Structure formats: structure tokens, C-alpha cells
Chain A
Amino acid sequence: MNHPQEATEFLKDAANAKWHDDTLWFVRDKRDKVSKSVPEWEKLRNLASDIKDNVLANLETYLVEFEKNAKANNIHVHWAKDAAEHNQIVLGILNEHRCKAIVKSKSILTEECHLNPFLEKNGVEVVDTDLGERIVQFLNQPPSHIVLPAIHLKKMAISDIFHEKLQTEKGNDDPYYLTQAARKHLREKFLAAKVAITGVNFGVAETGEFVVCTNEGNADMGVHLADVHIACMGIEKIIPKREHLGVFLRLLARSATGQSITNYNSHFRSPSPGKEIHIVLVDNGRTEQLAREKFRNSLKCIRCGACMNTCPIYRRSGGFSYGSTVPGPIGSILSPGIDLQKHSSLPFASTLCGSCSDVCPVKINIHEQLYEWRQEITKAQGTNAKSISMSIANGIFAVPFAYKLSASMMRGALKILPESITYSGLNTWGKQRDLPELPKETFKDWYKKNRK
């Protein structure tokens, strides 16, 4: 995956790129306004950050406490060291219940584990019930954003796919009409499914309960109609106490969409009589990330998506340009930890502007970690690698930025080279930008003449 290439592709449709930028900026702007209506906003961010730091420093203790309390609540607790184990556990539960069709509400973790294709291969029909997720599922695409999975699609594209899959009127892109059609379609799926899968936003160690936040109520609909609820949870999703929800729930929706609260914040504590709840606690590289001192606090993420909405790169290159389950700034610091080679262009897909770190509700120093990943990546690539660094060496413009070359060499080059070369394909700077005019003398020379 090469981010610059993907971004270039995305930008070719200029009108669409602008629409994408504006749409996400609108969400960011809404978030700004609503966050500013909370006087203690920055205090909440500090609190959330401190709580998560504590969790990461004592993860084992809280997980064990959570397991103990969940079990006491009659919840089945499973541990999965990686995606494969997670998928096997889920399949095992489905087989036990002879279940061939499930409903699933939004869960980035199951995306990360590629659960859908795995289950489908094993003869299980999976229906994503979050509207946006259902849309991308129809198109056989992954989500392009962790909170707004179909944000890359315009209304008409959705109308077209609904026409094909749900037989809605051709060309009718009225959002109400389309939503009603999806609703009817999903109702049937809800009624038929014996097992429902959800993600987990927060697992409370003190009580053994967990909280799932959705706007559409689809998690609840699925879970309450099914006999078995499987909740898939990354081990970092733990919080020590129920009262901490008062901090996180206030931050989450405001950061994500600019709402003051998610519509449904459902607490699951113990199964109703005759039903089952399973929790699958998944590591899948998280303990490794925890061991990387410079990058560990990326695990504080509550998956609000705000860093995507604010990122000037994400807004102009789209979620798919990152080629990772979690795109955007947070994805760019998580993904290299999973596969450094594959994701080596991501930490460079940033100007280090720092907007992500300022917007993040749990105060992850995202842009500083991007900088640190750059240092790691160049080390791993070695000096002879055909790496990003080589492209830096390309082009006349690069010369003043390579401190090893003397400035006078650069001046010489600028004067000597004919314009055709300066603006040739070799010189990336000059492709769509003029070079500054060369002054008669440097400041250094001027200073010598004009000051003692």
C-alpha cells in the first residue's frame, strides 16, 4: 500500500474530493461547537487521559477483575490471543447453537479480525445492521471511517445500490425513503437471527458489565431478539469503574459526531433467563503495542473518529488510501505496529500539523508518535533502502533541505539549470509550484557588508 499513490488517485476526481473534505469538516466543526458548550471540556479530556493511563499501567489487574465479575454475572468469558483465535471462538459458539445466520452491529474489532469473510467461508450469513456498514457490505467494501463507515459515498450511490439489492425506486435518493427501506430489510434479518454479535465500547472492571453505544439502536434490536449475544472486545477497552462512564460518554459522542450523547448507551450485565452472553477478550497485537513505550498510549483510543474528521490529509485522501482497518492519524500509529513494512508510508502521510492530538478526547499525542514512527521506519529500512528518504533526495528543491549539502551548491544548481530541467518530472516541487526567485545575495553576504 502506498499512500501518496492512493491519495493522488483520490484527488483526481476533484469535485468528489472537495465534497469529501467539506463533509468531514462539517462534522469537525459541529464537534468544535458542541465541545465549546461544555465549560469543563479540557478537564474532561485530562481526566479521560489519566483514567486510560491508569488502565494501561494496570491492564492485567483490571482484566482479571473484569473476568471475575463478568463470570459472577453468568457471562461466558473467552480469551483470544489473535484474530484467528477470536474467529475460531466465535465460530465455535455458532456451531454449538447450530446457527447459520447472524446479525452484527458495528464493531471495528471484528473488521480488524476479518470475521465476516471467515464466517462466510464457513457457511454463516453475516448481516451488518448499522446502516452505513450495511451499505458498504452490499458493495463488498470495508468501512472507510470507523464511525461513519459509508462517508465516502454520496446519496445517489446509496440509492443505486439499494435499488439493486432492496428493489427501491431507481433514482430516488431521498434519505428518509432509503432509510425506511433499510429498516424493513433489517427487521427481517433481526427476527431471523439466533445469535447477535456486537462490539464493546467500555468494559467495566468493577461490575463485569459492558456498554455498547450506537445511534440506531441496532445493537439492542439484534441482542434482544437473539438467544445468544457475543460481545467482541479489545483488551484495552476496559475502564476501572462505572462512574468513569460519566467522563467517557460525555466525550465520545461530542468528539465523534458533535452530538451531546449517543442515542443508545446500552449496559449489558447478565443474560436474561434462558439466554447467553459471551465476551471474547482479544489481544491481537495489543500487548506488543503496550510494550512499546513511545507508542503504548495509542491504546487509549476510544475510537471516536475525531482525528479522522480533523485530519487535512484524511479529508482529502479518503479512508481507503490508508489500506488499514483503522484509517487516519490513529490508524497511522497503530498499523505500523502490526506490519511495519506494509504500512511504512502511513507515518509520512502527515504534515505533523498536530490537529489530531488537540482534537483527541483522550489526549493521545498522535502527531508526536507519527514523528517517532518515522525514526523507527528509516532505521528499519537502512541506508540503502528504496525508501521515502530517496524521494526526498529527488528534485532541486530537496537540496536546501539536506543539510549535508552546502547552500552554495544549491544556489549554483538553481542558477545553472535551465528551466526545462528545474520544472521537469524530476523536480517534484516544481511540478505545480514555482520556485522562489533567487535574490542577488544571501542574508549572510548582506550582513557582512552592512553590519560590522
Chain B
Amino acid sequence: MPQVNKIGLFIPCYVDQFYPNVAIATLELLEKLGCEVVYPSGQTCCGQPMANAGYERDTVGTAKHFLKTFKDFDYIVAPSGSCVLHVKEHSPSVPGLESEQQVTQHKIYELTEFITDVLKIDSIQGSYPHKVGYHASCHGQRGLRLASASELHETPFNKARQLLQQLEGLEWVELTRKDECCGFGGTFAVTEEALSIQMGKDRLEDHISHDVEILTGGDMSCIMHLQGIASRNKQNIQFKHIAEILNEAIS
């Protein structure tokens, strides 16, 4: 493993609030993998929800704050493909800080790609004897290219699968529609509520009909949405962020 210097942990606002366990798992996992990780406590939301709702121009402040918060780190790692994609591609240009912004866009990584591409860890030793279904969140999947897309003619790959499949006893479940959107979509979840719910139900059905025991993924936002529907309909399936599974498996 190459020597990795200072890592700034970026925890999306809703994960900090609703899913502290996911953030803790991310931190512990990185520490177990030999990283020195710091969580700068001044961090706030990255501005993605506003930008996707059509108010990118109003997020210059948040973007600037983000740059300042993380400027001293060699890497920024977050357990969310969606927020990472936002910082990389949709942060509005911050006047006077353009070069810092460019640097930041190149040093920010989603958790699984950080493990496979920067730490260059191909496999994680551990055991996790469960049937796991993977929800490929679109922003990680087609935005960050964390896995091959079913639409493209390319050699199949999947960074999360690469890590999970090494765990002893873990059964990776093949889905009928392996990378269909779950219908979360940020504000879409409320502005197009009926569609959002239907899409979520359909995604859940794909997992449940394949006897998935634990549904996992790299973005808690999608999982929050799916879990919300499953819980309302008393469906029998558990939900975990991939950081929780990996962290549990190696302890």
C-alpha cells in the first residue's frame, strides 16, 4: 500500500444527522486500512441539493467554504458518490480560488474508489456470510464511473463488487436490472413523489424477489429512500451502507 498522507473526511450533511453510524464506519474502516483521517468539524452541506434544484448560482458560498475547509488535505474522502460528483462537476466556479478548486476536484474520492484506486487494495480479508444486493446509485455509477454501465459496450467492472466479493461467505446477488435508478433524485423525491415511490418500489421488488437479505450501496440518500418505502410497507429486508459491511467484516 502506498503511503497515504493526510485524509480529510467529508461526511454529507444528512449522513452526519441521520446516519452517524455510516460516518463512524467510514472513519474506522479507513483507519483499519492504515490511513490517518481527520474530520474537519467546520464542514457543511456541499450544495448539491440546491444545485440540482436549479440554484447552482446560489451555492458559491458553500463551495468556497468547502474549499477552505479541505484545503490542507492531500485527499478528501466521502461515503457518497453523489456528493463527490457534485464537488467535482457542479460546484460553481469560486472567484479567486479557481486553481484551488481544480486541485480539490482532483483530490476528492468516493470511498470505494479511494480504496481500490488510491490505496490500491484489491481485496479485503474478512467474513460476511450474507446474501447481499447492491444498489448502484446513478451518480456514482454513471457519474464517477464506479462500475461499468449496462448501456455501454465496455469491459464489466464494479469497484464495490471487487471489494465485497472477497469477503468470505458473502453471496453477491445478481439483479434483473442491475443499474436502474431507484427514484430518489434529491428534490425529485418530493416534486415527482408518485414516480419516485413507484421507482423505489420497483427497485425493492428486484432485490426482494432475488431473496436479498441486506441491500447495500454507496449512497445513503438512495438507501434512505428505499428503506423509507420498505419500512412503510413492512417489507423484510435490511439496509446497510457499504462502509458498514466492510468495517464489520474486517473487525
Contacts and interface: CB of A to CB of B under 8 A. Distances in A.
Interface residues of B, number: 70
A157 interface: no
Contact of B44 (A351, A403, A431): A403
- Top 9 nearest A-B pairs by Cβ distance? A351-B185, A433-B228, A378-B54, A374-B54, A354-B142, A401-B49, A358-B151, A353-B138, A443-B23
Given A4-B194, A7-B195, A42 B24 contact: no
B190 A350 contact: no
Contact of A391 (B16, B41, B191): B191
A446 B23 CA distance: 10
B193 A431 contact: yes
Interface of B: 11, 13-21, 23-24, 27, 39, 41, 44-45, 47, 49-57, 59, 62, 90, 138-139, 141-143, 149-154, 177, 179-181, 183-195, 197-200, 202, 224-225, 227-229, 231-232
By secondary structure, the A interface counts as helix
Contact of B11 (A348, A352, A395, A443): A443
Interface in A380-411: 388-389, 391-392, 394-395, 397-398, 400-403, 407, 410-411
Interface residues of A, number: 71
B229 A439 contact: no
A375 to B, nearest CB: 5
B229 A374 contact: no
Contact of A434 (B49, B141, B228): B228
Contacts of B180: 312, 355
Given A351-B183, A401-B49, A378 B18 contact: no
A352 B16 contact: no
Given A375-B57, A443-B24, A4 B52 contact: no
Contacts of B57: 375, 379
Select the residue from B15, B194, B199 with max chain A CB neighbours within 10 A.
Answer: B194
A447 B142 CA distance: 32
Given A35-B153, A388-B53, A392-B191, 13 more contacts: A11-B195, A348-B191, A351-B186, A358-B149, A402-B49, A407-B16, A407-B17, A410-B17, A433-B225, A438-B18, A442-B17, A443-B24, A445-B20
Given A353-B138, A403-B13, A411-B17, A371 B90 contact: yes
Interface string A5-39: 00110010000010001000100000010011011
B192 A349 contact: yes
Contacts of A428: 190, 193
B190 A395 contact: yes
Secondary structure of the B contact surface, majority rule? helix
A375 B232 contact: no
Contacts of B185: 350-353
Contact of B153 (A21, A38, A448): A38
A354 B39 contact: no
A72 interface: no
Given A378-B53, A428-B190, A451 B149 contact: no
26 contacts: A4-B193, A7-B194, A8-B195, A11-B194, A11-B195, A25-B177, A32-B150, A36-B153, A38-B153, A41-B153, A312-B199, A316-B195, A351-B138, A351-B199, A374-B53, A375-B56, A378-B53, A389-B54, A403-B47, A407-B17, A411-B17, A434-B228, A436-B228, A442-B20, A443-B16, A443-B39
